[in-house]
Structure 1
């Protein structure tokens, strides 16, 4: 009788385990269908632990605000995203705006140290937001990276600012910038990418033949980056020469350099590392990111609510970039470049990319 009772309990246990296993497989298939990694018990517990740690940091941060001076005034930024154009600077700003400690100017791109320097520092201060001393003021102006006079100007005003640089695949950046210029009527509609690129590469042949003479190349690309001649589209992605100009004025320890591919494919890890670099509470974590129907990562931010006198953290609605973003990645560009043109671009940028890798001591996930 005792043995019979044991068999009944054992069968019930096996049925329950089979049901749990079945539910887990359904969940796993749904996750795989969404393109998400399969989550097993160990990773689920790790995720839960990470969320608990973030919740404590978030609540500790909110508690600390009550002890800090909340008076606000306009001041210079603590950190600046200096580029690169068409490499995700807007996406980074969109994400960091969800961090309660960040505050941005009302103008998305002040461009003071490039285009509006002659208006004076009072104008720069006017463009800044009002902030309290514990907030991180950040501005982003992609024109800064390649603009010849910017490093020296900025150093004279902001010697201790921290700098963020996003470097993306030069070939993809070139396509994206070309499409943007077409939409702005920067180029005639009759122009096509396959005819435009060979002409641009030919006009820059002298730069490629003197690629090891840094001073000469920097001088030769100056008219392009000042928008005085030709097109800036290809010179904009000669990252090596732009960075060595910046490194003359700022120590490398002040730079946080992002591989644009990582920002697209693994934004959570990039954002976590950036918060560590800036020395601020890690309130945005990898677990906050989800893909939307377009395949782009969005952020599901969190906020605090009061329930019966006790604060707790809740997730907000998914925050995604507008549909106007990602035109070339989503195939919304009617014209598809030929294989020969893409190969031509890859061959043009290859030696400059190699110089960049040597300079930084790291390689990027580019074509």
Structure 2
């Protein structure tokens, strides 16, 4: 009797264990199904019609065609320290755009070398691709007639320029200059820098207005600033003075002007508009951009790479961000969330007051306003 009872208990225990295990397995199955569904939903919301985009991404050129070098038909002219490197890096991922490896500096340093020299600094490209280069120095470079020269040398060329908060731009410029010289960076040091190099710029531009002659003292202004290039830290942000000559030559359909703060906070929308401006397939979408967990700056998720691990990103596995396409490490020194450089409030107010009238002139020229100019 006892043996029968023990056997019955053993069978019951076994059945119970099997039941519990089955319930556990079923629960795991439902959890896995739910997670899979959530993952698929996330994929759809982030990369969308990935297969259709991949078809355009890997568009084949005519097999009889060879890539060749030609002069650029897309040029980024500035502004320095406003995110030009980031935008070039982003659009350079597009398969219909070929970007130069480094800044060409043709129109500010090498124009005497001739257009063949310029052409040879450009990447190989197929007929359907845009050839792009960016040299931020062009925005303020002499001669005053530089826009006319570029328009003559590069018929039909399109330009892009980024105009960012001139206050933050000046501070970023200062940090970059100091780091290059391995100088100490501090709030006190920056205040001394402002005291030394902003007053000459104030005096130089005191009598300028947007109604002045287009080429108002351009050579004189350039010569004065060149006496100590550190003055450019503040002069670069006088966008109204420099952009007037470009607006005279390049109509809106050939001149893409964007807000650097928008590029910082929503680069995907800027890149979408730039693709529309160039009339190329919109293969890079706003949802392709994701913040880097350490810097807080935006990077591109390279969905076109067959080995990109979406699951690692979704689950935030260790080092998942290493596979993102980001700007180089030395960029964004003052704008990253982990930056050790802070612009003092008193200097921010002082610089805002200096730039305010020039910002207003800029907005009148453009017929639009940027939020950073309304502080």
Superposed pair shares fold, TM > 0.5: yes
Shift in alpha-carbon separation, 1:214–1:229, aligned structure 2, 3 A: farther
Name the residue aligned to 2:120: 126
Query: What's the secondary structure of 1:261's corresponding residue?
Result: helix
Structure 1 segments unaligned to the other structure (5+ residues): 1-15, 28-40, 307-312
Q: How do 1:168-317 and structure 2 match up within 5 A?
A: 168-185=164-181, 192-212=189-209, 214-215=212-213, 216=216, 218=218, 220-223=220-223, 227-230=226-229, 231-293=231-293, 294-303=295-304, 317=323
**Larger mean Cα displacement after TM superposition, 130-139 or 349-358:** 130-139
Equivalent-residue separation in structure 1 for 2:56 and 2:336 (angstroms)? 41
Please tell me whether the aligned partners of residues 304 and 314 of structure 1 are also in contact (alpha carbons under 8 angstroms): no
Which of 127, 140, 145 pairs up with 2:134? Answer: 140
Equivalent-residue separation in structure 2 for 1:198 and 1:139 (angstroms)? 36
Name the residue aligned to 1:81: 76
Query: What's the secondary structure of 2:221's corresponding residue?
Result: helix
Name the residue aligned to 2:19: none
Please tell me whether the aligned partners of residues 79 and 137 of structure 2 are also in contact (alpha carbons under 8 angstroms): yes
Equivalent-residue separation in structure 1 for 2:306 and 2:258 (angstroms)? 34
Identify the structure with the greater helix proportion: 2
TM-score normalised according to structure 1 size: 0.77
Please tell me whether the aligned partners of residues 142 and 219 of structure 2 are also in contact (alpha carbons under 8 angstroms): no
* Per-residue deviation, 1:187: 7.5
Query: What's the secondary structure of 1:113's corresponding residue?
Result: helix
Please tell me whether the aligned partners of residues 290 and 300 of structure 2 are also in contact (alpha carbons under 8 angstroms): yes
* Per-residue deviation, 1:304: 6.3
1:365 aligns with 2:366: no
Query: What's the secondary structure of 2:236's corresponding residue?
Result: helix
Query: What's the secondary structure of 1:248's corresponding residue?
Result: helix
Deviation string for 1:130-167 (max 9, x for gaps)?
A: 11111111001000111122323212201310000000
The RMSD of aligned alpha carbons is 3.2
Q: How do 1:155-170 and structure 2 match up within 5 A?
A: 155-170=151-166
Deviation string for 1:283-302 (max 9, x for gaps)?
A: 10011111112211110022
Equivalent-residue separation in structure 2 for 1:280 and 1:301 (angstroms)? 19
How many residue pairs end up in the alignment?
321
Structure 2 segments unaligned to the other structure (5+ residues): 1-26, 314-322
Bigger Cα Rg: 2
Equivalent-residue separation in structure 1 for 2:152 and 2:43 (angstroms)? 49
* Per-residue deviation, 1:229: 4.0
Shift in alpha-carbon separation, 1:204–1:183, aligned structure 2, 3 A: same
Query: What's the secondary structure of 1:295's corresponding residue?
Result: coil
TM-score normalised according to structure 2 size: 0.76
**Larger mean Cα displacement after TM superposition, 89-98 or 210-219:** 210-219
Shift in alpha-carbon separation, 1:334–1:134, aligned structure 2, 3 A: closer
* Per-residue deviation, 1:46: 8.3
Equivalent-residue separation in structure 1 for 2:90 and 2:340 (angstroms)? 29
Equivalent-residue separation in structure 2 for 1:254 and 1:280 (angstroms)? 15
* Per-residue deviation, 1:81: 0.7
Name the residue aligned to 1:12: none
Shift in alpha-carbon separation, 1:46–1:204, aligned structure 2, 3 A: same
* Per-residue deviation, 1:331: 7.4
1:113 aligns with 2:107: yes
1:341 aligns with 2:338: no
Shift in alpha-carbon separation, 1:87–1:56, aligned structure 2, 3 A: same
* Per-residue deviation, 1:207: 3.9
